Amino acid sequence: MNIEALLLLFFTVGLFTRFSLRVVGPSQRLVIFQNGQAIKVVDSVTWLLPFIQTSKLVDTSRISQAIPTFYDASRTQTALVLGTFEYYVCEPLKAVGVDNLRKKIEGIVMLALQRVFEDATIEQCLTEKAVIETRVMEIANLKSAALGVALTSLKIDSFPRHRQLLLQITTMPYIVYWQIVEEVQ
- Domain spans of the chain, in order of start: 3-59, 63-184
Residues 58 and 27: their CA atoms lie apart, in Å, by 9
pLDDT, residue 103, reads 86
Count of beta carbons in the 10 Å neighbourhood of residue 43: 14
Q: Can you point out the beta strands (E) in 24-115?
A: 28-34, 37-42, 46-47, 53-59, 63-66, 82-89
Homologous superfamily (CATH) for 63-184: Band 7 domain (3.30.479.30)
pLDDT, residue 88, reads 92
Residues 181 and 71: their CA atoms lie apart, in Å, by 18
pLDDT, residue 138, reads 92
Mean pLDDT computed over every residue of the chain: 77
Residue 50 φ/ψ, nearest 5 degrees: -60, 140
Higher pLDDT, 92 or 174: 92
Tell whether the model's pLDDT for residue 160 goes beyond 80: no
Higher pLDDT, 105 or 18: 105
Global pTM reads 0.70
Tell whether the model's pLDDT for residue 93 goes beyond 80: yes
pLDDT tens, residue by residue, 36-78: 888 989 988 888 887 788 888 888 889 888 887 655 444 444 5
